[in-house]
Amino acid sequence: MSDFYVSLIPTDVNWQPTKEAATEVETYVRRVFPDPDGVQQDVTVEFYDRITVVDAGENIRQITCPRCDQNIPLDWYGDLVEETEGEFDSLIVTVPCCETAVALDTLTFDWPSGFARFEIAVANPARTEYTFTRDEISAVEAILGHQLRQIVAHI
Ligand SMILES: [Zn+2]
């Protein structure tokens, strides 16, 4: 069985909150994502040293280049993530379609994917409304003082 994740990441790939704000967010997320049995789901709040892939995993079916509008082979992206272990100091890569330098976070993924140095994740949410609602995202943004994106992944 594959794992299912919903994550919130900052829109700025390098941005990180204070430890205090992260702790406050974790408390909030555990409250709005109750897990009655305490066994099904896992809430994690992560600080990454380097810019790290937070992608949609198996949900990704198409990646499009912002320069030439051609599709980028999924294998090329998969190999890149494997070689780098999903960690980057710079998101600038030479894409295979048009051989130009493009930032990974400007590629168009058919399913939201991102790159971040901070992530709040709920693995295998126990509640029926399994993604963060717009109001919950706004509440977390208010705690952190930064805009967020939601990533939904099967890994
Ligand atoms: Zn291209």
pLDDT, one tens digit per residue, over 18-76 is 999 999 999 999 999 999 888 889 999 999 999 999 987 778 899 999 999 999 999 99
Considering just the CA atoms, what is the radius of gyration of the chain in Å?
16
Taking the centre of ligand 1 as the mean of its atom positions, its distance from the CA of residue 99, in whole angstroms, is 7
Q: Does domain 1-58+113-155 have CATH number 3.90.120?
A: no
Domain locations in the chain as residue ranges: 1-58+113-155, 61-110
| SS3 category, 138 | helix
pLDDT at 1 over 60: no
- Ligand 1 centre to CA of 69 (Å) is 6
Mean pLDDT of the chain: 94
The CA-to-CA distance between both ends of the chain, in Å, stands at 9
Q: What is the DSSP string of 22-87?
A: HHHHHHHHHHHS--TTSSS-EEEEEEEEEEEEE--BTT---EE-TTT-PBPPHHHHHHHHHHHTTE
The pLDDT of residue 27 is 97
Q: What are phi and psi of 27, to 5 degrees?
A: -60, -45
* Alpha carbon of 66 to ligand 1 centroid (Å): 7
Ligand 1 geometric centre to CA of 74 (Å): 14
Q: Report how far ligand 1's centroid is from the alpha carbon of 100 (Å).
A: 7
